[in-house]
A and B are shown apart, each in its own frame.
Chain A
């Protein structure tokens, strides 16, 4: 197992090289001159040239890339052009905010999704099943920026929970100390994920329930509860775990809309702001960090397969 994990971590190196090359070239292919943007409108050519020289933008691309990678492996992702602070520090401050949001959202998604999926599968082709699946389809189709706005409308601005407006105020340092701030953003992100997990759980459970070993379990005289939760669910979980991993990874990197709606200072907003202002080091830094996270999440998913089914040989 340890050997496997080490090997998998080594395998991420080529992935990360690919990611850095991609991000690096994309940033240089898009129109716009970083030095000019930083210098601001009406700056003299000399000022722009100085900035360009300071940032190394006059060097050939491969030298710029080499410098970037060289520093990155030492944990130095450069400094933000905009704020001048080290990229790592900026990311560090925002990372836990996003991580918390993604983590709680995933828990909500798994909890709601599994329950809905199992109920649907056990009562397949009944009214319950159809109802649950229609709700899931809504959850899946609803853009979360819209759902987020609806939640704000209902709970914060409307009369349901007017005091919750208070929790929507931006806290630059993250969540602040009130857990209630987390509720609406987590619901926004979590429900979409729950819908996907519910549908996956249902189809996976239905497939498993038709298997011979489920009949064997029933022939042993076990209760339907044990048959479903012990015998069927564990077998049905593998595709579900894959989806959960993807969801969690997606939440970490792509919760931009939710973060924007709820004014959360997370990774998503950091990335978008960096792209908008051509803050090259920051964009490279955030994308790199998100990629590493994605790779780690995938690794965890693969390791959990082995736990669910001993037949899967990781080596």
Chain B
């Protein structure tokens, strides 16, 4: 699965925040690949570090946040090391991003056209007039009716769905290689959600860009992604193709996550919640971070953190069950499902 066609490779990313209570490692060991023209999903609960991961890629972290280790390779360049000037050339040009809150993500005092134009003027050297013409085209591309009129509208004159379309138009302005969509539909009505998802999918196919889709909604993942990275407590615990994840999830957390979700494709008697809570970033367990909640946890799991291991099919997993060192039984029961241990 991992090929030379990756536009972005994230390796063991570590991002910390300095807070009053000391340093908090919000992202600690995140690795995944973004193949060209594909959509990868990053799923996880609130606080699992998925948004911090995406902000780290663009180096847009808040002032107290810092990338402490790892690599973010974009076409061979390590984004953790390039200059701020180089980063600005990439932002909004080759890698662009749309955010969760369309209501607050647009500047209230400038028109939609002015805001789309900015990227075109600064990255493509267009003049104001050319940029406006292109802005109208972009609004048309994202399905905004009468774009010639809307280009002069202020954000407050548009609905949430329309604003998210404007955000998308803005992010597509310079034909990016990668679009990072950070929960782009979470703040929208369900019917609008579907439209926006459809739009992103359609645009991705037409423009051939790669998409990093950040969400807590597995339903959205199933609909849009080719690959998925499941995050738990600041780490990637499983990275696989979408089919494998939904059919045969390996990590106990992924299994638990899917079991807690209502599904139409399999018979379910009842939904099973994962017991316990996500550990606080101030008190991370020493071993596997999921061990305190894991029904199959052993002493090894509680004592030592497993590495992210690549299996025969190229999928990645961070769990002792699939290592040679597994001390438990060969057949492991996880949330009512049986997994065969490697050891």
Contacts and interface: CB of A to CB of B under 8 A. Distances in A.
Nearest to A310: B154
Given A216-B99, A218-B91, A219-B96, A231 B107 contact: yes
A180 interface: no
A213 B91 contact: no
A311 interface: yes
Contacts of A211: 104
B107 A219 contact: no
Interface stretch (B40-48, B118-126, B294-302): B118-126
A212 interface: yes
Interface string A214-229: 0111111111001000
Contacts, number: 73
Contact of A234 (B92, B99, B109): B109
A212 B154 contact: no
A309 interface: yes
A221 B123 contact: yes
Contacts of A234: 109-110
Contact of B99 (A212, A221, A226): A212
A277 interface: no
A212 B105 contact: yes
Interface in A290-315: 308-311
B108 interface: yes
A226 to B, nearest CB: 8
Given A219-B91, A221-B93, A309 B122 contact: no
Interface in B117-171: 118-119, 122-123, 154, 156, 167, 170-171
A221 B118 CA distance: 9
Q: Which interface class (under 10, 10 to 19, 20 to 34, 35 or more) fits B?
A: 20 to 34
Contacts of B105: 212-213, 215-216
B106 interface: yes
B230 interface: no
A211 B122 CA distance: 22
Nearest to A220: B92
Label chain A's interface by main secondary structure. helix
A213 B104 contact: yes
B119 A221 contact: yes
A219 B101 CA distance: 14
B60 interface: yes
B90 interface: yes
Interface in B51-103: 58, 60, 87-93, 96-97, 99, 101
Contacts of B123: 221
Contact of A235 (B87, B109, B154): B109
B53 to A, nearest CB: 15
A213 B104 CA distance: 6
A222 B109 CA distance: 17
A211 B104 CA distance: 8
Given A212-B99, A212-B105, A235-B107, A220 B154 contact: no
Contacts of A231: 107, 110
Contact of A308 (B96, B109, B122): B109
B89 A219 contact: no
A309 B109 contact: yes
A196 B102 CA distance: 34
Nearest to B84: A224
A213 B108 contact: yes
Given A221-B92, A221-B119, A235-B107, A215 B154 contact: no
Nearest to B107: A213
Nearest to B111: A310
A212 B87 CA distance: 19
Given A219-B99, A221-B88, 10 more contacts: A212-B99, A212-B101, A212-B104, A216-B105, A216-B106, A216-B107, A216-B170, A217-B118, A221-B122, A222-B92
22 contacts: A213-B104, A213-B105, A213-B106, A213-B108, A215-B60, A215-B105, A216-B107, A218-B91, A219-B171, A220-B122, A220-B170, A221-B88, A221-B90, A221-B122, A222-B122, A223-B122, A226-B118, A226-B122, A231-B110, A234-B110, A235-B107, A311-B154
